[in-house]
Copies of this chain bind each other. A is one copy, B any other.
Amino acid sequence: MTQARALRSASFFTFKVADFLRSVTIKDIALAAGVSIKTVSRVLNREPYVRDTIRERVWQLVEQFEYQPHPAARSLGGRRTYSIGLILEVPETYSYVKRLIDGVFDVCETRRYSLLLRPGHEALKAAEVKKYVRQTRVDGVILPAPIGDSEEVTRTLTEMEVPFAQLSPRNIRADWMSARPNDEAACRELLHEIYALGHRRVGFIKGLRGHGSTVRRLQGYWDSVNELGFDIDPNLVVDGAFDFESGHAGAMALLNLQEPPTVIVASNDDMAHGAIVAARERNLSVPNDLSVVGFDDSPVAKQTFPSLTTMRQPIYEMAQALTNMLLDKLHGLDIQEKVREYSCELIRRDSLKALA
């Protein structure tokens, strides 16, 4: 009883300056509420035998302090982990995600870390990320594009002092860990190949607005146009969103030009697929009347007719490197080369052909 009595008289909780950085624990709530930690535990776990007035007071303090029970302590005390496993076999078809997950997981397994999955969506709020990190207490986070491009998210993680590593970020910062393909150079390489095959009028379908690879691939396009002497025409560059539909629409726009291109470079394979379908609808034969190339070497590249010539990204290797960097950082090691760039590889298939 001593604890509770002492606490009750203490009441009117005050923050101790020394506790500034320590995270809130069940003791803090108990102290503030003037009850024992066990009672707080009962409230949190919705167990019976707590007066309603106390229940309410505790919940209120929990919200006020944004208290999150420590999962490891719950596990240890409660003899269960409050976690479940998802053994997921991603079919080969879904390989961008597969290669990414595999790369991250393989390193985690080797280095005896667990991998906590958090699905993202278009506009994942920083508040959700914060809640996720506070709840799970992960030591670090991997941020594939485009989530890593949210200034709000990276700021939140920085404030929480949770290290993160980005895959294909838009803005490269020398002091942040990241890995990305050599989009610009890869695009130039692709355009050299196209030039060598005699094409001079090249259409370009951009990726999702704001995505790092979008910007860099476009830059590679313009560089090549200037360097090699392709036709310079702003109408040859159209918007896209990395999906089939936008590729289809973009290709239609390009084919409707007074002087249409002889080859279309799409910023990824899904859009290239859309372009191929668009060409077919216009009764153009690919690659005889129009060549089409993509980026990624995603599974769809082998399924189009004709099959797609494309630049492959080494996703698996990037994911591994990123995870290793993050774990090194967590172990206090000094990371040399925080920013890493990986070469793409040109995969030659049937959709690109010399100009007749």
Contacts and interface: CB of A to CB of B under 8 A. Distances in A.
Interface in A76-101: 76, 80-94, 96-98, 100-101
Given A115-B83, A302-B244, A305-B280, A89 B146 contact: yes
Contacts of A302: 244-245
B119 A117 contact: no
Given A81-B138, A139-B83, A323-B84, A98 B115 contact: no
- Give the contact-size bracket for chain A: 35 or more
Contacts of A176: none
A113 to B, nearest CB: 5
B243 A85 contact: no
B116 A115 contact: yes
A152 interface: no
Contacts of A327: 84
Interface stretch (A129-137, A219-227, A342-350): A129-137
Nearest to A299: B244
Interface stretch (A12-20, A54-62, A66-74, A228-236): A66-74
A124 interface: yes
B84 A102 contact: no
A43 to B, nearest CB: 14
> How many copies of this chain?
2
Contacts of A102: 119
Contacts of A147: 87, 89
A300 to B, nearest CB: 8
A51 interface: no
Nearest to A74: B72
Contact of A81 (B90, B97, B136): B136
Contact of A330 (B80, B142, B299, B330): B80
A104 B86 contact: yes
A204 interface: no
A161 interface: no
B244 A84 contact: no
Contacts of A274: 303
Nearest to A120: B89
A103 to B, nearest CB: 10
A117 B146 CA distance: 21
Given A114-B136, A116-B115, A117-B115, A87 B281 contact: no
A199 to B, nearest CB: 26
Given A85-B141, A98-B119, 18 more contacts: A71-B72, A72-B73, A75-B75, A76-B76, A81-B137, A82-B112, A85-B132, A85-B133, A87-B132, A89-B121, A89-B147, A91-B96, A91-B243, A93-B243, A93-B244, A97-B97, A277-B303, A280-B305
Interface of A: 70-76, 80-94, 96-98, 100-102, 104-105, 108, 112-122, 124, 129, 132-133, 135-144, 146-147, 242-245, 270, 273-274, 277, 280-281, 299-300, 302-303, 305, 323, 326-327, 330
